[in-house]
């Protein structure tokens, strides 16, 4: 490196000597040309720095298409300098000032570019956030579609079950689905426990049932999950019993070996049967604690098999208690609706001797390995709590079918199903009272009509209501708020009994998309609905004077100017009837749905309100 540095210094010195020798030997013309070339190179470099294009680089003061003899010189705007008060500056100061201005402009341009880049970055971030929001919104919509799809498949599965039950080819899953759906129906009552539907099924049928239960659990998405889990446990237990029976080659269910010795199997079943879920849970915890404690002579296989059987008995107990609770609730609702006092029927059976029982297995275990089976937390010293626990345990057979029938017969004999006599002051405001003779006369006419035609046609009221409901859309609702008319007397009241006409009114509501609502709402978040019109259908089938047309009168509401009273008047034997409506200007054009007619005993008054459109 030291040699190379010395070599460079030597070359530089030689170059300087050659330049000095050339300057000393050159002629004045050569010196002038050298200086002009140096000056042009300097000017060219300056133009490149100022941003001149390649096509303008060869222009000189004498050779340019603009005819400017001072093209290469700096332009000085004297008037602008005088106006700014800096015309006294010399050329050097002006150059320094222009350099500062150019530097400031360059810095400002960099700031503008930086701001533009920041704006573009913020815009990209906003677009990314909007994209994420749109994705989340689409994910919510997709989730809603998935839920709707699952609900559709569930409804289709229930429909297929109903069809199979109706055609007499029901599968076990159909009966279970009908049972679980009957819990939400107050009128449907299933008298048998759900696990009784497994009687008589083969192994293949139960395996199909387990798969169908899994499908229902997925479709219902967590609803009734305890019921389906208990049914799965019971079905798998029955499948295991049938398989063991087939493997043993024995022909009767009494000789099944449920994982324990045949001499102890009957004792185990007698202990498990008749227990409530709480008692079985205590027994389950005792067996688990015994397995965890372990011991040198403990038969782990036996106790695990016993624990597996106990799970099935616990599932049956849960379903049995749930079944009894559902029956009790439905009976209570029925009695509440009928006004009958509720007295629960409880059939108490003698307590099983296995409630307090120490069982041991001498052929498999030592006498020390025993389990205490107790009905609950109560001890033998408290006789009364023990009797209550036994009553809860053995009193589960409540509300059986014959008990319900017997109690219904007793209530009917006691006269509790007979209607109560009501006074005139206890009747509701819009009650329609019929005399016994009038009702009997109408019944005889209907019987004669049925004997002649052989067809029970609709009554006049049914026909009126069917006609009034025609064309009722989703944006319409029934409107039945009646205004009472006080102090109204009729001259014909002594001849005809006044009565209120029947009616079926509809109110039309919708959204008003004015400028304000278009600005502040959209279709996902719509504005509040407003009343846009009414459709009144008043029934006058028994009008005395058929030629008199009913009339309507629009009166102001005294307590609120935003509402009005619409009163209808027809004549004997009908009283006037009035309704409170929104006080707005009506649209009387038939093109906008206005109708005022009386035909076939129905007075129809349909109208919409005017819509005001504001224009500039």
What is the three-class DSSP state of 15?
Answer: helix
Residue range(s) defining the domain that contains residue 501: 466-609
On the question of pLDDT at 296 being above 80, the answer is no
Q: Is residue 221 part of a domain?
A: yes
With both helix axes pointing from N to C terminus, report the angle between 277-293 and 300-338 in degrees, rounded to the nearest 10.
160
Query: 257 exposed, middle or buried (CB, 10 Å; 0-12, 13-18, 19+)?
Result: middle
Q: Tell me the C-alpha distance between 535 and 479, whole Å.
A: 9
Could you tell me which of 533, 458, 544, 466 has the C-alpha nearest to residue 501? 544
Q: What confidence score (pLDDT) does residue 319 get?
A: 85
Q: Are residues 195 and 313 in the same domain?
A: yes
Q: Are residues 183 and 315 in the same domain?
A: yes
Between 555 and 307, name the one with better pLDDT: 555
Q: Considering Cα of 361, then 362, then 366, then 372, what sign does the dihedral take?
A: positive
Query: What are 70-101's pLDDT values in tens digits?
Result: 777 777 788 888 888 888 888 888 888 888 99
Q: What confidence score (pLDDT) does residue 370 get?
A: 44
What is the three-class DSSP state of 357?
Answer: strand
Mean pLDDT computed over 107-118: 94
Q: Is residue 364 part of a domain?
A: no
Between 613 and 245, name the one with better pLDDT: 245
pTM of the predicted protein model = 0.37
Residues 6+ apart with CB under 8 A from 390: 351, 355, 375
First to last CA, the chain: 88
Q: Is residue 457 part of a domain?
A: no
Overall domain count for the chain: 3
Q: Is residue 309 part of a domain?
A: yes
Query: What are 483-511's pLDDT values in tens digits?
Result: 887 767 777 777 777 888 888 888 888 88
Q: What confidence score (pLDDT) does residue 457 get?
A: 57
On the question of pLDDT at 456 being above 80, the answer is no
Q: Are residues 71 and 177 in the same domain?
A: no
Q: Tell me the C-alpha distance between 403 and 426, whole Å.
A: 36
Q: Is residue 614 part of a domain?
A: no
Q: Is residue 356 part of a domain?
A: no
∠ CA 36-39-43, nearest 5°, is: 135
Q: What confidence score (pLDDT) does residue 385 get?
A: 37
Contact 449, 545 (CB under 8 A): no
Mean pLDDT computed over 187-191: 67
| DSSP code, position 582 | E
Q: What confidence score (pLDDT) does residue 397 get?
A: 42
Under the banding of pLDDT at 50, 70 and 90, the label for residue 3 is: low
Q: How many residues does the chain have?
A: 616
On the question of pLDDT at 29 being above 50, the answer is yes
Mean pLDDT computed over 183-210: 78
Mean pLDDT computed over 143-166: 81
Query: What are 208-246's pLDDT values in tens digits?
Result: 888 888 888 887 777 888 888 888 888 888 888 888 888
Query: What are 157-166's pLDDT values in tens digits?
Result: 878 888 887 8
Contact 209, 173 (CB under 8 A): yes
Q: Tell me the C-alpha distance between 217 and 577, whole Å.
A: 55
Q: Are residues 177 and 326 in the same domain?
A: yes
Q: Are residues 188 and 60 in the same domain?
A: no
From 293, 318, 337, give the residue that closes a domain. 337
Contact 378, 386 (CB under 8 A): yes
| DSSP code, position 419 | P
From 337, 372, 387, give the residue that closes a domain. 337
What is the three-class DSSP state of 531?
Answer: strand
From 281, 303, 337, give the residue that closes a domain. 337
Q: Tell me the C-alpha distance between 386 and 374, whole Å.
A: 10
**Token reading at 344:** 């629960």
**Token reading at 95:** 């150059």
Q: Is residue 145 part of a domain?
A: no
Q: Look at the block and give the residue holding tokens 């759900």.
A: 194
Q: Tell me the C-alpha distance between 237 and 258, whole Å.
A: 10
Q: For the ranges 200-209, 367-376, 429-438, which has the lowest average pLDDT?
A: 367-376
On the question of pLDDT at 608 being above 50, the answer is yes
Q: Is residue 286 part of a domain?
A: yes
Q: Are residues 183 and 324 in the same domain?
A: yes
Other beta carbons within 10 angstroms of residue 434's beta carbon come to 11
The mean of the pLDDT values for the chain is 76
């Amino acid at each position: 490196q030291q040699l190379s540095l010395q070599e460079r210094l030597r070359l530089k010195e030689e170059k300087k000597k050659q330049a000095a020798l050339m300057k000393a030997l050159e002629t004045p013309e050569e010196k002038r040309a050298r200086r002009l070339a140096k000056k042009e190179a300097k000017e060219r470099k300056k133009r490149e720095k100022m941003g001149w294009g390649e096509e303008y680089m060869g222009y000189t003061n004498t050779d340019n298409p603009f005819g400017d003899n001072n093209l290469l010189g700096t332009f000085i705007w004297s008037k602008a300098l005088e106006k700014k008060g800096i015309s006294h500056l010399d050329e050097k100061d002006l150059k320094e000032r222009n350099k500062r201005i150019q530097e400031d402009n360059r810095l400002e341009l960099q700031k503008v570019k930086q701001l533009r880049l920041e704006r573009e970055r913020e815009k990209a971030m906003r677009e990314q956030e909007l994209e994420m929001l749109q994705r989340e919104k689409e994910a919510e919509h997709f989730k809603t579609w998935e839920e709707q799809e699952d609900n559709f498949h569930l409804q289709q599965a229930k429909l297929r079950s109903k069809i199979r039950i109706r055609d007499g080819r029901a599968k076990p899953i159909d009966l279970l689905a009908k049972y679980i759906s009957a819990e939400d129906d107050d009128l449907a009552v299933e008298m048998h426990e759900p696990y009784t539907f497994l009687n008589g099924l083969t192994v293949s049928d139960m395996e199909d049932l387990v798969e169908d239960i899994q499908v229902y659990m997925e479709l219902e998405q967590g609803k009734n999950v305890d019921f389906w889990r208990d049914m799965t446990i019971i079905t798998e237990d029955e499948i295991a019993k049938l398989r063991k029976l087939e493997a043993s080659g024995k022909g009767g269910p009494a000789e099944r070996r449920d994982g324990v010795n045949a001499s102890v199997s009957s004792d185990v079943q007698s202990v498990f049967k008749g227990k409530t879920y709480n008692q079985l849970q205590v027994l389950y915890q005792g067996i688990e604690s015994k397995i965890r404690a372990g011991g040198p002579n403990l038969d782990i296989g036996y106790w695990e098999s016993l624990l597996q059987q106990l799970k099935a008995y616990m599932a049956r107990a849960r379903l049995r208690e749930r079944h009894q609770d559902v029956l009790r609730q439905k009976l209570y609702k029925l009695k509440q609706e009928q006004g009958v006092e509720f007295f629960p029927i409880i059939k108490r059976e003698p307590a099983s001797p296995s409630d307090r029982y120490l069982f041991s297995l001498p052929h498999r275990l030592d006498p020390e390995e025993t389990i205490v089976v107790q009905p609950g937390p109560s001890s033998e010293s408290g006789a009364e709590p023990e009797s209550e626990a036994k009553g809860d345990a053995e009193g589960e057979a409540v509300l059986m079918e014959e008990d319900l029938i017997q109690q219904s017969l007793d209530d009917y004999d006691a006269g509790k199903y007979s209607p109560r006599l009501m006074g005139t002051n206890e009747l509701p405001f819009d009650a329609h009272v019929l005399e016994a003779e009038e009702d009997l006369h109408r019944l005889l006419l209907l019987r004669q009509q049925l004997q002649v035609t052989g067809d029970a046609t609709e009554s006049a009221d049914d026909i009126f209501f069917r006609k009034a409901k025609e064309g009722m859309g989703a944006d319409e609702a029934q409107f039945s708020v009646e205004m009472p008319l006080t102090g109204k007397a009729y001259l014909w009241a002594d001849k005809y009994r006044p009565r209120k006409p029947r009616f079926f009114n509809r109110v039309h509501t919708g959204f008003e998309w004015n400028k304000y609502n278009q600005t502040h709402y959209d279709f996902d978040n719509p504005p509040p609905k407003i009343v846009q019109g009414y459709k009144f259908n008043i029934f006058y089938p028994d009008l005395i004077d058929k030629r008199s047309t009913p009339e309507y009168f629009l009166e102001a509401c005294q307590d609120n100017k935003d509402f009005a009273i619409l009163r209808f008047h027809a004549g004997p034997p009908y009283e006037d009837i009035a309704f409170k409506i929104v006080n707005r200007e009506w649209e009387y054009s038939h093109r906008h749905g206005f109708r005022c007619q009386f035909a076939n005993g129905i007075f129809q008054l349909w109208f919409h309100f005017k819509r005001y459109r504001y224009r500039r």
